[in-house]
Each structure stands twice: as C-alpha cells, then as structure tokens.
Structure 1
Amino acid sequence: MLLGLFVLLACQLGGDIITRALSLPVPGPVIGILLLLGVMVVARYLPKRDRSVGAQIETAADSLLGWLGLFFVPAGVGISQHFDLVAANGLALTLVLVVSSVLTLAVTVWVFILARRLFGARGNG
C-alpha cells in the first residue's frame, strides 16, 4: 500500500509541477490524473509479482476514499463560521448551484450521445 500511496502522491505532485512550469490553465490534479493513467497503462505491462503496482494503487485509493468524508469537514466549518455571508447571498448561491448542475448534466448527456454516435452502439443493450 505504501508504494500505491507514493505513486498517487507523486502523480499529484508531478501534475502540479507541470501545471506551474508550463503556466497551464488546467489544475495540477487534472494533469496528475493523466499521469496516473499513464502509470497504470505502463504498470499493466510490468511483470506480475505477489502484489502488482496497480493493485497497490487500488488499495491505497480505496483507503483514501474511506476517509473522503473528512475532507468535507473544513467546508462545513467555513459555512457555519460565515453563515451571515451565506444567508445574504443564499439566492445567488442556490441559482449558481442549480444552473451549474443542470449544465453539467446536459454536457454529460451530450458527450455520451456524441461518444455513442462516434463509437457505435455495442452489444444488445
């Protein structure tokens, strides 16, 4: 699991370094995910041992996901500390959340339809 955690953090750091070095308008974690994809593709072709690199990355990722709820605690504390600010801008915040959710859903459906047309329907489903 230690190797998996190292790979995850190294990809995150690598993505941040690339983003800052090249002044890209893409967040570092997005580049890090692409780096992780590359690592996983390469790891697939490595000789298999007792615990492959991919399995160790999966174990580390699953462990981190188990603690994901803790990452929302600071946001909740911030909201409770600035409740008057949230209340004053509640309508605007609600509107932004609804519009962004609808747009995200629409873009997701559009991408799915486009991908299905490009790659064709496979299977009987």
Structure 2
Amino acid sequence: MLDTLLTLLVFQTMGEGLVHVFSLPIPGPVIGMLLLLGYLILRKGIADKLAPTTNQLLAHMALLFVPAGVGISVHMGRIADEWLPITVSVVASTLLSIIATALVIRWLSRSKQEAGQ
C-alpha cells in the first residue's frame, strides 16, 4: 500500500514541479496524472501492482468531495454573485466532455473494426 501511495505522490509532485518550473497554466495534479499514464503505458505490469490500493482509494472517493463541499459553503456569497459564468462554464465543459468522449469512442470503435478485418 505504501508503494502505491508513494508512486501516486511522486507523480503528483513531479506534476507540481513542472508547473512551477515552466509556469504552466495547467494544474500540477493533471500533469502528474498524464505522467503516471505514460508510466503505466510504458511499464505494463505496474498497473496490476497498483490496482488493489487504488481500488481501495476509489471505494472511499466520496470523502474526497468533503473539502469541495466545504469550499462551496464558505464561498456561497461569491458563487451567488457569479452564478451565470459558473453555470455557463459547467454546462459548456460538460457538453465538450460528452462530445470528446463520443468522438474517442467512435474512433476506437473504427480502429477496432479495422484491426479485426
């Protein structure tokens, strides 16, 4: 379990470091996740080693939303003042995510069909 948590923290720290060094406009954990994805693609057996602990983390993922809920309640006045841009950005990002997911699934389906033929 400690190896898995250390791996996750190392990649998050690497992401934070890259964001800090290169002044990137992307959050460090996102960069860390991309680095971890690349690592998992390159080292095939690592995913199986990390799976038990990551499944335990995912089982308790609801706890990770508590800080976000507290933040929303603390900043409720600001959210009330800026409800329109927040709503537009949430709706737009949701639609873009759905469209991007549909396009990726379509592309993967075509690739799988072409490989099978």
Calculate the TM-score normalised by the size of structure 1.
Answer: 0.67
Verify: 1:8 aligned to 2:1, yes or no: no
Distance 1:26 1:105 in 2: 21
For residue 57 of structure 2, what is the aligned residue in structure 1?
A: 64
Q: Which of the pair is proportionally richer in helix?
A: 2
State the 1:27 CA deviation.
3.1
1:83 corresponding residue in structure 2: 76
Are the aligned partners of 1:3 and 1:56 in contact in 2 as well (CA < 8 Å)? no
C-alpha separation between the residues in 2 aligned to 1:70 and 1:7? Answer: 21
1:20 equivalent to 2:13? Answer no
Aligned pair in 2 of structure 1 residues 89, 28: CA closer, same or farther (>3 Å)?
Answer: closer
Give the superposition deviation at 1:6: 1.1
Indicate the structure (1 or 2) with the bigger Cα radius of gyration. 1
Cα RMSD for the two superposed structures: 2.8
Give yes or no for contact 1:4–1:59 (8 Å, CA) kept in 2. Answer: no
How far does residue 116 in structure 1 lie from its aligned partner after superposition? 4.0
CA contact (8 A) 1:12 1:33 kept: yes
Give the TM-score normalised by the residue count of structure 2: 0.71
Aligned to 2:16, what secondary structure does the other structure show?
Answer: helix
Aligned partners of 1:72, 1:88: CA distance in 2, in Å? 23
Letter in 2 for 1:84: G
Instruction: Report sequence identity in percent.
Output: 39
1:88: Cα distance to partner?
Answer: 3.4
Q: Which has the higher contact order (CA 8 A, sep 6+)?
A: 1
Alpha-carbon distance in 2 for matches of 1:65, 1:30: 17
Note if 1:107 corresponds to 2:108: no
Structure 1, unaligned runs of 5 or more: 45-52
Cα offset, 1:20, TM superposition: 2.5
